[in-house]
């Protein structure tokens, strides 16, 4: 058995009990990178840790757009998570994509009636990176997904300031026929929930085109 993150062979003899009941398939080193967010005390809007009530950011979104996202995030966006996402997303170490496939499968099971829609990269970004970092992870789960949105934007997200992102115009268009999303439930999937702006753009467009419900799931918050 190999570590689902770094792919190193797990040296210890894995018992059946560990195989079936362990909460991850990561080695001791990689296990420490991921801190799960306790859902019982996370913000019901954005999934922020330790905010059992709707947080002030979510209340602002609600005022501005008239809805709350209902985002679910698996892990805290902390130093450990950055130690995973930087080599994966920015250096392009594609082997790391299975790091939390177990947790991802479990989380997605809660959205059985939803269409799964990873946020798309711009064409330029996709060509430079060679893969969509969210699709890479989803490809190892037992669920299928569809790019219901496509984007055209000039600068990649991580080079923008927080203010720039909040000001940004709608970067998405519906990809394909609108009938696909009309009266459907859609789960937007992204790697990190930062301001929420990009996810809200996606949700706004999907609602405008007739989606019934839009929620989101991110790997980290
Ligand atoms: Zn490992
Ligand atoms: Zn919130």
- Residue 204 resides in a domain: yes
Mean pLDDT estimate for the chain: 91
Ligand 1 center–CA 146 separation, angstroms: 30
Q: Could you tell me the two tokens for 24? A: 């991850």
CA distance 101 to 86: 18
pLDDT at 22 over 70: no
Count of domains in the chain? 1
Q: How far is CA 109 from CA 112, 142, 143, 187, 200, in A?
A: 6, 10, 9, 12, 23
Span 105-123, average pLDDT:
96
- Residue 25 resides in a domain: no
Contact 220, 73 (CB under 8 A): yes
Span 81-107, average pLDDT:
96
- Residue 5 resides in a domain: no
Q: What is the pLDDT of residues 175-205, one digit of tens each?
A: 999 999 999 999 999 999 999 999 999 999 9
Ligand 1 center–CA 130 separation, angstroms: 24
pLDDT of 186 reads: 98
Q: How far is CA 36 from the centre of its chain?
A: 14
Ligand 2 center–CA 208 separation, angstroms: 23
Name the residue range of residue 203's domain: 33-220
Ligand 1 center–CA 48 separation, angstroms: 26
pLDDT of 18 reads: 57
Q: How far is CA 56 from CA 40, 43, 61, in A?
A: 18, 10, 9
pLDDT of 151 reads: 86
Ligand 1 center–CA 88 separation, angstroms: 13
- Residue 125 resides in a domain: yes
- Residue 11 resides in a domain: no
- Residue 15 resides in a domain: no
CATH label of the domain that carries residue 61:
3.40.50
pLDDT of 161 reads: 72
Span 55-66, average pLDDT:
97
- Residue 14 resides in a domain: no
Backbone φ and ψ of 192, nearest 5° = -130, 135
For residue 88, give the nearest of 100, 80, 76, 97 by alpha carbon: 97
Q: How far is CA 92 from the centre of its chain?
A: 17
Ligand nearest to the CA of 34: 1
Looking at per-residue pLDDT, the higher value among 123 and 220 belongs to 220
């Amino acid at each position: 058995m190999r570590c689902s993150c770094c792919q190193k062979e797990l040296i210890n003899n894995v018992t059946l009990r560990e195989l079936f009941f362990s909460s991850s398939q990561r080695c001791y080193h990689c296990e420490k990178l991921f801190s799960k967010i306790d859902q019982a005390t996370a913000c019901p809007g954005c999934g922020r840790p330790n905010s059992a009530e709707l947080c002030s950011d979510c209340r602002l979104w609600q005022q501005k757009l008239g809805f709350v996202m209902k985002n679910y995030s698996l892990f805290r966006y902390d130093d450990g998570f950055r130690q995973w996402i930087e080599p994966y997303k920015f250096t392009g170490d594609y082997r790391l994509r299975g790091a939390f496939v177990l947790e991802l499968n479990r989380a997605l099971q809660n959205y059985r009636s939803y269409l799964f829609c990873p946020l798309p990269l711009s064409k330029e970004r996709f060509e430079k990176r060679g893969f969509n970092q969210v699709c890479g992870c989803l490809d190892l789960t037992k669920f299928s997904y569809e790019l219901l949105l496509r984007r055209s934007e000039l600068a990649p997200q991580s080079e923008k300031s927080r203010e720039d992102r909040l000001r940004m115009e709608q970067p998405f268009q519906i990809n394909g026929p609108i009938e696909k999303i009309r009266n459907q439930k859609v789960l937007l999937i992204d790697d990190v929930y930062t301001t929420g702006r990009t996810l809200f753009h996606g949700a706004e467009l999907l609602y405008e085109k007739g989606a019934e419900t839009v929620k989101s799931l991110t790997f980290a918050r």
